[in-house]
């Protein structure tokens, strides 16, 4: 999915769908109020009639809202304003993206990233929105003979920030969010692969590809070297398979020369935990 950052007013967005929030009970966020003013109370009239209470996770899709340049307006329930925190923000983004992906909106302009979250910055909201959005549309259908097809899948999301001086920090946060989301998707892909495909050799090759792409050092320790190093416990477990074991070591040297190293140790389980 393609992501971007911008600042602007909701009624001026030329988009397949503009996404704004509604708190419970029936309280419009600032972006929703701006849309409502442009639409001469069209949205508040709908909300007053009870079509949208603002309950967390609820959505209401509106077409042809007067006074706007977008094709649709999506109202997303945010729950109670005083209780709107990390989880509620993530749930709101998830509900919005799921609805956009199911309604044929090719792109969406999301004003939920303007909504204040307790003890969180604008950069945090943007980073988290990118992670949750990518996670919501993730599918693993590599081995399906008939893949589920979305009629017009969501291709682009634009996250809105309130002030122009927040754009630089938001852009950097978006890059971080996309990187985290891509890492999560790769981990899910590897976990979803069957063991006859995702064996130690496959993991090692994936590590090499990552290392080449991101210019980091990759070392694959083979069976003979493991024996020389006295790694008998690992070798004992590996005897239960005809697939040779691989010990993958990735070195990322992005810090200062005198920084203490951070070491992460993982267990790449390809068949049985033992």
Contact 69, 8 (CB under 8 A): no
Statement: residue 150 has pLDDT above 90:
no
The residue ranges of every structural domain in the chain are: 2-191, 194-274
Q: 70 vs 18, 114, 157, 249, CA distance in Å?
A: 7, 18, 14, 50
Report the pLDDT value the prediction gives residue 151, as an integer from 0 to 100: 61
pTM of the entire structure? 0.88
- Residue range 154-202, pLDDT digits in tens: 899 999 999 889 999 999 999 999 999 999 999 999 999 998 899 999 9
Cα 167 to the center of its chain, rounded Å = 19
- Residue range 197-222, pLDDT digits in tens: 999 999 999 999 999 999 999 999 99
97: tokens are 């993206």
Report the pLDDT value the prediction gives residue 1, as an integer from 0 to 100: 87
Report the pLDDT value the prediction gives residue 67, as an integer from 0 to 100: 94
In Å, the largest CA–CA distance within the chain is 78
Report the pLDDT value the prediction gives residue 4, as an integer from 0 to 100: 96
Nearest CA among 88, 86, 108 for reference residue 97? 108
Contact 62, 72 (CB under 8 A): yes
Average of per-residue pLDDT values in the chain: 92
Report the pLDDT value the prediction gives residue 272, as an integer from 0 to 100: 66
Contact 34, 10 (CB under 8 A): yes
Top-level class of domain 2-191: alpha beta
């Amino acid at each position: 999915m393609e992501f971007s950052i911008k600042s602007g007013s909701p009624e001026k967005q030329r988009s397949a769908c503009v996404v704004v929030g509604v708190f419970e009970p029936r309280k419009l966020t600032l972006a929703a109020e701006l849309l409502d003013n442009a639409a001469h109370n069209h949205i508040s009239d709908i909300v007053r009639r009870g079509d949208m209470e603002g309950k967390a996770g609820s959505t209401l899709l509106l077409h042809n809202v007067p006074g706007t340049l977008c094709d649709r307006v999506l109202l997303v329930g945010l729950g109670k304003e005083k209780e709107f925190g990390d989880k509620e923000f993530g749930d709101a983004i998830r509900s919005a993206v799921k609805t956009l992906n199911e309604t044929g909106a090719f792109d969406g302009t999301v004003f939920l990233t303007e909504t204040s979250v307790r003890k969180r910055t604008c950069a945090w909201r943007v980073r988290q929105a990118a992670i949750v959005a990518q996670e919501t549309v993730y599918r693993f259908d590599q081995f399906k003979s008939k893949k589920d097809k979305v009629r017009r899948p969501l291709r682009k999301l634009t996250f809105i920030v309130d002030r122009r001086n927040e754009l630089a920090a938001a852009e950097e946060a978006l890059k971080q969010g996309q990187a985290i989301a891509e890492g999560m998707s790769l981990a899910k892909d590897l976990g979803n692969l069957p063991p006859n495909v995702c064996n130690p050799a496959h993991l090692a090759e994936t590590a090499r590809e990552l290392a080449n792409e991101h210019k980091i050092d990759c070392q694959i320790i083979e069976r003979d070297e493991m024996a020389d190093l006295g790694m008998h416990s690992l070798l004992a477990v590996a005897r239960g398979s005809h697939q040779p074991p691989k010990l993958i070591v990735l070195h990322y040297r992005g810090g200062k020369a005198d920084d203490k190293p951070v070491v992460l140790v993982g267990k790449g389980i390809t068949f049985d935990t033992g």
